């Protein structure tokens, strides 16, 4: 294509564009929802303002709650009528007993009305008619109580029987403690006398059978105990913390209890009343000296005979008699 042809083509294109610009534009097609068959299905997209109708419902609810609160408060402050309803029952109980009838007879009718202000309640008139015949009880004479016989001043009062004398605690001289020698330590307290004997003097090591020397010491102790009649004696066995484990004595508990029982049997052979005696084993729970030395452990291996010298009251005797036997 020559240059002239190209210029003519460009000129024609420009003329066509100018003609198209000057030509009237075609009418714009209306939307489908503006008339026509689709208009009935159209939903406007316009946003409606929020309604405040819920506020009225909320205010109504608050008003109802306030009214209910006022009603409940008023009901709670009403006077209770329960005591007035229970008055006829109380009046019936008053007139049922002779003493109540006498008191009702002594009270004038005017005072009775003042004491029992009963409102006019349904059924109260019938109750008054029921209790009206009982008003005749006022004229019934009550039997006078039997008069107590007056005490005559000339009659001599019956003398009280003297209580049996309690056994007095034995004195040191009566017990004859001088004959015990240095083998027994005697500790005198306000309520008891303790006789402390070393186990080395009474038993061989690890055994509960009395040695010949121990038999002689216990025989002297039996004579001392027999001089004081009526005072209980507790035989207590003690040991040191050194453990023992044999077929006869699995622990120090069995050893201390066995030694206390051996001493008790020998005292019974010496004539002491068995009812006055008891045997207790404490093992190493009641030391009298530190166990960190040999001398302290030897002092803790002992048998003590504790005699109660405080007079026993009847209550104490009854308590001991009713005490169940130890199993």
Domain of residue 262, CATH code: 3.30.1330.60
Residue 127 domain flag: no
Mean pLDDT of 143-151: 52
Q: Collect all residues with Cβ–Cβ distance below 8 Å to 131 and sequence separation of at least 6.
A: 88, 91, 92, 95
The count of domains in the chain is 1
Tell me the average pLDDT across 48-70: 86
The answer to the question of residue 198 being in a domain is yes
Closest CA to 227 of 278, 178, 280, 165: 178
Task: Confirm whether 322 is domain-assigned.
Answer: no
- Predicted confidence at residue 271, as pLDDT, reads 93
Residue 219 lies in a domain: yes
- 6 burial (CB, 10 Å; 0-12 / 13-18 / 19+) is exposed
pTM, full prediction: 0.45
pLDDT band for 155, please (50, 70, 90 cuts): very low
pLDDT at 230 over 60: yes
Distance CA 269, CA 180 (A): 19
Domain assignment present for 274: yes
Mean pLDDT of the chain: 73
Give the domain range for residue 213: 172-314
Q: Is the pLDDT of residue 236 over 90?
A: yes
Residue 8 lies in a domain: no
**What are the structure tokens assigned to 144, written together?**
């006078």
Q: Is the residue at 289 inside a domain? A: yes
Measured distance CA(71)–CA(26) in Å, rounded: 78
**Higher pLDDT residue, 101 or 204?**
204
pLDDT exceeds cutoff 80 at 184: yes
Q: Which residues pair with 261 in a beta bridge?
A: none
Kindly state whether residue 300 falls inside one of the protein's structural domains.
yes
pLDDT at 267: 94
pLDDT band (50, 70, 90) for residue 176 = low
């Amino acid at each position: 294509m020559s240059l002239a042809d190209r210029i003519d083509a460009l000129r024609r294109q420009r003329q066509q564009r100018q003609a198209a610009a000057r030509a009237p534009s075609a009418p714009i097609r209306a939307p489908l929802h503006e008339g026509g068959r689709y208009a009935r299905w159209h939903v406007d997209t316009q946003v409606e303002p929020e309604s405040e109708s819920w506020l009225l419902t909320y205010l109504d609810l608050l008003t109802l709650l306030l009214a209910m609160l006022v009603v409940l408060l008023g009901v709670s402050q009403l006077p209770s009528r329960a005591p007035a309803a229970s008055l006829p029952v109380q009046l019936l109980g008053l007139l049922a007993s002779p003493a109540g009838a006498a008191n009702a007879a002594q009270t004038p009718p005017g005072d009775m009305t003042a004491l029992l202000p009963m409102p006019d309640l349904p059924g109260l008139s019938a109750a008054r008619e029921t209790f009206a015949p009982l008003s005749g009880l006022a004229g019934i004479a009550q039997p006078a109580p039997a008069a107590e016989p007056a005490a005559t001043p000339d009659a001599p009062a019956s003398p009280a029987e003297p209580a049996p004398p309690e056994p007095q605690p034995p004195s040191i001289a009566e017990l004859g403690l001088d004959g015990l020698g240095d083998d027994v330590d005697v500790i005198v307290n306000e309520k008891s006398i303790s006789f402390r004997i070393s186990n080395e003097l009474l038993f061989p090591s690890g055994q509960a059978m009395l040695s010949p020397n121990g038999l002689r010491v216990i025989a002297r102790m039996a004579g001392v105990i027999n001089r004081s009649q009526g005072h209980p004696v507790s035989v207590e066995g003690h040991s040191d913390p050194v453990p023992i484990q044999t077929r006869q004595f699995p622990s120090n508990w069995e050893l201390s209890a066995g030694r206390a029982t051996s001493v008790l049997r020998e005292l019974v052979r010496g004539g002491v009343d068995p009812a006055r005696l008891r045997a207790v084993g404490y093992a190493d729970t009641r030391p009298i000296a530190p166990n960190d030395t040999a001398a302290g452990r030897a002092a803790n291996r002992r048998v003590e005979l504790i005699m109660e010298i405080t007079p026993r009251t009847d209550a104490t005797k009854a308590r001991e008699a009713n005490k169940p036997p130890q199993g």
